Structure 1
Amino acid sequence: MRARIPARFDFPKLWAASAVSNIGDGVTMAAGPLLVAHLTQNPVWVAGAVFAQQLPWLLFALVSGAYVDRVDRRRLVVVVNVVRGLALAGLAAAIATGVVTIPIVYATFFLLGLGETVADTAAAALLPAVVPSDKLPAANAKLMATFTINNQFVAKPLGAWLFATSTALPFAFDAATFLLAAGLLARLSTGPGKREPAHTSLGKDIVEGVRWLKNHRVLRTLAITMCAANVVFCGAFAVFVLYVRQRLGLDDLGYGLLLTTFAIGGLAGAAAAPGLQRKIPARMLLRAGLVVEILTHLTLAASTRWPIVAGVLVVFGVHTMVWGGIVLTIRQRTVPEGLFGRVTSVHLLLDFGGAAIGSLLGGLFAKSLGITAPYWIAAGVMVLISVAAWRPLRAA
């Protein structure tokens, strides 16, 4: 039987830790590309910084998921947050002393990505342990709304402003948020402990998680669809900072402000998601999301006016919250407790693995074919993805 931790005690702590870390993540998400763009104008190197943070998902996601099902998830997230905070503090020190280089940035982002493979999987598994099943959509909506407000609406312009004030400041700020989030999570009640018998091998654990996802038609379809969609999405947005400068003519602060359009749509999507899921079949919402992705890439490829780009990114933000809420709730309600970390890690491997591959390809396409090439390619590929996924999504 699943161990229950009273939600009235632990969900506010989990929520607060998420709120704090989301601000820091958003600050680094805005400042990171600016830092690399100040060190080099080569699109391949700029996209490479994104790839460095996503590469660990390709290398370690399945192993991380197996460990998440074996150990105390709360303690695991606390330790990982402390390590990530120290890594960012080291990057801030390197910037402040003038010794920062592209390899140092890549190494730091790789370490952050490695921590994500563990922390994100463990954090996703913590929520069903503190919130009853019937309350999961509302709890997910609260976390998504907090993510949208803090990570995208508040943090993006804040990150750009902090970077303009001092290039080291946003990374020092993020380091502090990781440490604060670790302190909040350390106060959670003792969460679920060891999941697997000591004699069980990691290889067998991983295979079991892969097999479970493979045999679940809806989650398998969603995972494969998002993997393919992320290849083209991240291929396009890995060079977004250069697109904003060269195509739209905005400065660093304008780039930070444009990123907040995701947040405006995301906040609306998070607020609307529970009601939409009650009134509209999931298959219709998921299919509508595929259409939104196609139109987003087409608009960005064709437009040179930032207000038009901002408008379509608002709509895209709504789509991401609705789609993400549906997928997360299905997974939390369907996957057995003892398998949750492993199944989630397979899903995230496909999700972030596609993102990593796309980030690498996006820089190459932008360098050889022009800054809008990744967006044209993304639109065409998304049409093919939508055709392939349309019928299987009926099962959702």
Structure 2
Amino acid sequence: MGRILDAVVPARLGPRFRWMLASSWMSNLGDGIAVAAGPLLVASLTDDPRLIAMAAVAQWTPPFLFGLLAGALADRLDRRLMVLTGDIGRAVVLVGLVALIATDRVDIGVLLAALFVIATLETFADGAHTTVLPMIVPRSDLGVANARFQFGFMGINRLAGPPIGAALFTAGVVWPFVAQLVCMAFGALLFARILLPPVERSREGTHVLQDIVEGFRWSMRHPAMRALNLQIVTFNVTYGAAFAVLVYYAQERLGLGPGGYGALLTATAVGGVIGAASYGWLERHVAIRNIMRWGLLLETLTHLTLAWTSSAVVAGGILLLFGIHESYWGATASSVRQRAVPDELQGRVASVYVIFMMGGVVAGSALGGLIAKQWGVTAPYWFGFVGSGLILACLWGELGRIAHADEEIRRSAEADR
């Protein structure tokens, strides 16, 4: 049993990492349950497509409104306390929502308000949570550590959670939200076991807006972060354009029903699990520059394959490979950022990256619908292929420089151990 535990969570990462990982996996299970149960609850309360769309807006808006502020506060305040406060706040809102559902008093307005408040609290909790890992794990081990978190997102949030959420909703509308509440509470209790080292801060006498500006300037002046920010916003435009219409593509191009569409999503999630499980081996045997370059090339070829094929088997196969890349890229980009950024700037720089990431997805999603409407269901995938190819050509050399700088940081960290 000890060998299995050490293989999953290496002892060298320390007990604090194990508590943090257990907390993250528990929270991911709750969030995965809500991924399926949330839309089902919305659809049970209204058949107005505008209100159904507002549920997504309520959850996507807070990171845009408060993400930079959350990052700045994470660099000013006690990060552990900030995470726990956000988690406890979300749990309190969920208690109220569960009570309303159980007594059949919930309506769409109350639900939308609850989703907005929960997403706002999650934005502040996540703003601090992203800064914790480089505080407790040696910088040379951040790749393996981030891969374990990727496993939680891909394997638990995407793969295991939604079927559980749908099954619980079938048993009773309130049960998936009770389960989410339990998972969230246990996640907070596990995170509370972590004690963090102090962070040197020099924020006295400055306004929070000055902190935000400082973080943005540092992000855009640092060569590696500037390139990562440009990469994520541009590639997420092409990603958002393609994947926003995936359900339509599955129906019209591949001839699949709901079950077939679900199988495509499952293939991506399975690929993500494979990627997370194999990242440690990959990092030991493949240079960072090649992980980044060849991964983005695979993403580009994913668009081409989906644009060209009408076979569900081929589409599922390329999406499985894309899921592997998604895990590899998530672990690599997070590790490169965390190794490059000083502790006192982690919150602000991470929040800038998230704003670029989400901005690209939202813009691309809107663009994908317009492109598909005007030129057909495969047009967003041709757009993704051409756009990603041009962007990758422009960033190819820069990715090599990012990797070179990161390798120097890793060698220095390993020498200091």
Q: TM-score, normalised by structure 2?
A: 0.81
Q: In the alignment, does 2:119 pair up with 1:113?
A: yes
Counterpart residue identity of residue 215, structure 2: G
Q: 1:357 — aligned with what?
A: 363
1:157 to 159, 163, 179: 163
2:134 to 118, 125, 128: 128
Q: 1:183 — aligned with what?
A: 189
Q: In the alignment, does 2:336 pair up with 1:335?
A: no
Which has the higher mean CA deviation after the structures are superposed, 152-161 or 84-93? 84-93
* Residues in 2 aligned to 1:159 and 1:288: alpha-carbon distance in whole angstroms: 35
1:281 to partner: Cα distance: 2.5
Q: In the alignment, does 2:227 pair up with 1:221?
A: yes
Q: In the alignment, does 2:91 pair up with 1:81?
A: no
1:67 to partner: Cα distance: 0.1
State the structure with more CA Rg: 2
> Does the Cα contact within 8 Å between 2:64 and 2:355 map onto a contact in 1?
yes
State the Cα deviation string for residues 270-296 of structure 1 (Å, max 9, x = none). Answer: 122233233323222212222222232
Counterpart residue identity of residue 79, structure 1: T
Q: 1:348 — aligned with what?
A: 354
Task: Find the residue that maps to 1:391 and give its secondary structure.
Answer: helix
Task: Find the residue that maps to 1:211 and give its secondary structure.
Answer: helix
Q: In the alignment, does 2:69 pair up with 1:63?
A: yes
Q: 2:28 — aligned with what?
A: 22
Q: 2:407 — aligned with what?
A: none
1:364 to partner: Cα distance: 5.3
Q: Which has the higher contact order (CA 8 A, sep 6+)?
A: 1
* Residues in 2 aligned to 1:105 and 1:311: alpha-carbon distance in whole angstroms: 38
1:268 to partner: Cα distance: 1.5
Task: Find the residue that maps to 2:203 and give its secondary structure.
Answer: coil
Q: 2:211 — aligned with what?
A: 205
Which has the higher mean CA deviation after the structures are superposed, 58-67 or 132-141? 132-141
* Residues in 1 aligned to 2:97 and 2:307: alpha-carbon distance in whole angstroms: 34
> Does the Cα contact within 8 Å between 2:68 and 2:351 map onto a contact in 1?
yes
* Residues in 1 aligned to 2:110 and 2:32: alpha-carbon distance in whole angstroms: 20
Q: 2:397 — aligned with what?
A: 391
Q: Unaligned 5+ residue runs, structure 1? A: 1-5
* Residues in 2 aligned to 1:300 and 1:34: alpha-carbon distance in whole angstroms: 29
* Residues in 2 aligned to 1:385 and 1:48: alpha-carbon distance in whole angstroms: 32
Name the CA shift for 1:251/1:192 in 2 (closer, same or farther; >3 Å): farther
Which has the higher mean CA deviation after the structures are superposed, 68-77 or 386-395? 386-395
* Residues in 2 aligned to 1:244 and 1:35: alpha-carbon distance in whole angstroms: 24
Q: 2:144 — aligned with what?
A: 138
> Does the Cα contact within 8 Å between 2:87 and 2:122 map onto a contact in 1?
no
1:197 to partner: Cα distance: 3.4
1:128 to partner: Cα distance: 1.6
> Does the Cα contact within 8 Å between 2:199 and 2:343 map onto a contact in 1?
no
Which has the higher mean CA deviation after the structures are superposed, 366-375 or 262-271? 366-375
Q: 1:290 — aligned with what?
A: 296
1:360 to partner: Cα distance: 4.1
Aligned-pair Cα RMSD in Å: 3.1
1:8 to 5, 9, 14: 14
Name the CA shift for 1:365/1:83 in 2 (closer, same or farther; >3 Å): farther
Equivalent residues in 2 for 1:192-341, closer than 5 Å: 192=198, 195-241=201-247, 244=250, 255-303=261-309, 305-341=311-347
> Does the Cα contact within 8 Å between 1:69 and 1:339 map onto a contact in 2?
yes
Q: TM-score, normalised by structure 1?
A: 0.85
* Residues in 2 aligned to 1:239 and 1:257: alpha-carbon distance in whole angstroms: 16
* Residues in 2 aligned to 1:243 and 1:107: alpha-carbon distance in whole angstroms: 32
> Does the Cα contact within 8 Å between 1:34 and 1:241 map onto a contact in 2?
no
Q: Unaligned 5+ residue runs, structure 2? A: 1-11, 403-417
State the Cα deviation string for residues 247-282 of structure 1 (Å, max 9, x = none). Answer: 656565655554332221112211222332333232
Counterpart residue identity of residue 113, structure 1: A
Q: Determine what percentage of the aligned residue pairs are the same residue.
A: 40
Name the CA shift for 1:361/1:109 in 2 (closer, same or farther; >3 Å): farther
